[in-house]
Chain A
Amino acid sequence: MEILEEKKNKNRKYTPILNRIREWPVYQLSKNRKEFVEEVAQRSFERIRELRPTRKQLIDELEATVYREQNRLKRNRWRVDPKDENRFWAAIKHELVELSASQDETSQKPEELAKRIVQRYAGEIAGNFKPNSYRVTRAIVKFWFTRLLNGARVKKFGAFFRNRYTLRDKIHIVGKVKMLRKLAKQGTVVMVPTHFSNLDSILIGWVIHSLGLPAFIYGAGLNLFNIKIFAYFMNSLGAYKVDRRKKNLPYLETLKMYSNLAIQKGAHSLFFPGGTRSRSGMIEKQLKLGLLSTAIEAQRNLYLENAGPEVRKIFIVPVTLNYHFVLEAPDLIEEYLQVKGQDRYFPEQEKYGSFQLIKFLFKFFTKGSSISVSIGAGLDVLGNYVDRDGQSLDANGRVIEPREYFISNGAVTVDKQREDEYTRMLSQKIVHEYHRINRVFASHVAAFVAFEMWQKKHPKLDLFSLLRLPEEELELEYEAFRDTFRRVRKQLYKLKEERKVNHATHLKGEIDLVIKRGLDNVGIFHLKRPLLRNKKGKIVTQDLSTLYYYHNRLVGYDLESLI
Chain B
Amino acid sequence: MTSNPSSEKPAGVIGAGSFGTAIANIIALNRPVLLYARDAQAVERINRTRENRGQQLHDHVTATNSLEQLAQQCYVIFPMVPSQHFRAMMKKLSPHLHPYHILIHGTKGFDIQLPEGETLHSVATLSRARVKTMSEVIREESVVVRIGCLAGPNLARELAQRQPGATVVASHFKEVIQTGKRLLRNDRFQVYENADIVGVEIAGVLKNIIAIASGALSGLGYGENAKGLLISRGAVEMVYLGRALGGDTRAFLGVAGIGDLVTTCNSPMSRNFSVGYRLAKGESLAQILASMEEVAEGINTVQIAKKCADHYKVRALVTDRLYKVLFEGMTVEEALDFLMRFPLSADIDFI
Contacts and interface: CB of A to CB of B under 8 A. Distances in A.
B144 to A, nearest CB: 10
B143 A421 contact: no
B175 A417 contact: yes
A404 B100 contact: yes
A400 to B, nearest CB: 5
A400 B143 contact: yes
Contacts of B174: 415, 417-418
Interface in A94-114: none
B173 interface: yes
A425 B144 CA distance: 13
A382 B145 contact: yes
A433 B75 CA distance: 31
B243 interface: no
Contacts of A396: 94
Interface string A66-103: 00000000000000000000000000000000000000
Contact of A417 (B75, B94, B173): B173
A415 B99 contact: no
A410 interface: yes
A407 interface: yes
The size bracket of the interface on B is 10 to 19
Contact of A405 (B75, B95, B145): B145
Given A409-B75, A417-B174, A418-B173, A425 B98 contact: no
B175 A418 contact: yes
A395 B140 CA distance: 8
A394 B143 contact: yes
A410 B173 contact: no
A196 to B, nearest CB: 30
A402 to B, nearest CB: 7
Contacts of B142: 394
A8 interface: no
Interface in A241-296: none
Contact of A410 (B75, B95, B143): B75
B175 A425 contact: no
A156 to B, nearest CB: 59
A404 B175 contact: no
A468 interface: no
A378 B73 CA distance: 33
B157 interface: no
Contacts of B146: 418
Interface string A403-440: 01101111000010110011001000000000000000
9 contacts: A384-B143, A394-B143, A396-B94, A401-B99, A405-B99, A410-B100, A415-B174, A418-B174, A421-B173
Interface of B: 9, 75, 94-95, 98-100, 140, 142-143, 145-146, 172-175
Given A407-B100, A425-B145, 9 more contacts: A382-B99, A395-B140, A398-B143, A400-B99, A401-B98, A404-B100, A405-B145, A415-B175, A417-B175
In the A-B complex, the 3 residue pairs with the closest CB atoms: A404-B99, A407-B100, A404-B100
